[in-house]
């Protein structure tokens, strides 16, 4: 089975631009969640999608948004980029995300640099 | 959120066992203890999880204290490939909104 696939692997943008990151979950997984990782703040939860609906949301500004498609693939969008948005963005998938003994599978991430 | 406390870093020699501790004194009865690790330039990787009893899998063992206020991840024979940041996480609620602490950076010396 293929793992979680994130594209692109690296991205360079300038302040004020917007960016879209893509995540393909493991086949059969319906829950997709997104995390931001920075050296200063560590790994922080952004949001989670299940059946095309946002189920949970972390403490991030509205510039960060996402969506999930009927095939469970997900995208996240960051508008009006700021320097502080430079980070590794990680996507994780799991079967349904309804049980606390469920494993998460992470992709290798998209490294975003904002200049 | 339920919180865990781990040492910032630990060092081990190759081929020796490693015991990575985690304190979670505010754990509730239904919270699962999960461990993930993050190798350099990769996303986190599931290692093991447990509720009350000790658990073993091909990667590691998880020893859970009787009062469940602490746990220990055991790597039986550390290799250079085990050098990573290890995160101890409590799964409190349904949904994949995990709270990652700082983790323990494990360094393995040849």
- How large a percentage of chain B has pLDDT more than 70? 98
* Any A CB within 8 A of B42 CB: yes
Which residues of chain A are within 8 Å of residue B94 when distances are taken between CB atoms?
Answer: 97-100
Give the pLDDT score at B88: 96
Give the pLDDT score at B12: 96
**Which residues are within 8 A (CB) of A41 and not within 5 positions of it... i.e. 6 or more apart?**
none
Is the CB of A104 less than 8 angstroms away from the CB of B101?
no
Give the pLDDT score at B91: 87
DSSP sequence for B27-43: --TTPEEEEEEE-TTS-
CA distances from A25 to A20, A107, A113, B56, B83 (A): 16, 8, 24, 27, 27
Q: How confident is the model over B8-46, as pLDDT tens digits?
A: 999 999 999 999 999 999 888 888 999 999 999 899 999
Q: How confident is the model at residue B99 (pLDDT cuts 50, 70, 90)?
A: confident
Is the CB of B93 less than 8 angstroms away from the CB of A90?
no
| pLDDT averaged over every residue in chain B | 93
Give the pLDDT score at B3: 86
Q: How confident is the model over A53-111, as pLDDT tens digits?
A: 999 999 999 999 999 999 999 999 999 999 999 999 999 999 988 888 899 999 999 99
B71 burial (CB, 10 Å; 0-12 / 13-18 / 19+) is buried
Q: How confident is the model at residue B2 (pLDDT cuts 50, 70, 90)?
A: low
């Amino acid at each position: 089975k293929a793992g979680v696939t994130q594209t692109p692997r690296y991205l360079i943008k300038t302040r004020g631009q917007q960016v879209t990151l893509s995540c393909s979950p493991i086949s059969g997984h319906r829950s997709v969640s997104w995390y931001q990782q920075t050296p200063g703040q560590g790994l922080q939860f952004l949001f989670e999608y299940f059946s095309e609906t946002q189920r949970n949301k972390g403490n991030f500004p509205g510039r960060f948004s996402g969506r999930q498609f009927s095939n469970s693939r997900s995208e996240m969008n960051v508008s009006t980029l700021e320097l502080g948005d430079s980070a590794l963005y990680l996507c994780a998938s799991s079967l349904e995300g309804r049980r606390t003994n469920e494993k998460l599978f992470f992709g290798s991430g998209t490294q975003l640099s904002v200049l | 959120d339920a919180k865990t406390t781990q040492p910032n870093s630990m060092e081990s020699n190759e081929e020796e066992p490693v015991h990575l501790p985690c304190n979670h004194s505010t754990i509730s009865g239904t919270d699962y203890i999960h461990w993930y690790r993050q190798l350099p330039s990769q996303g986190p990787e599931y290692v093991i999880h447990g509720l009350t009893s000790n658990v073993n899998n091909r990667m590691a063992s998880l020893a859970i204290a009787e009062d469940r206020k602490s746990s220990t991840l055991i790597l039986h024979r550390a290799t250079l490939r085990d050098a990573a940041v290890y995160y101890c996480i409590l799964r409190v609620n349904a949904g994949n909104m995990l709270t990652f602490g700082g983790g323990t950076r494990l360094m393995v010396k040849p």
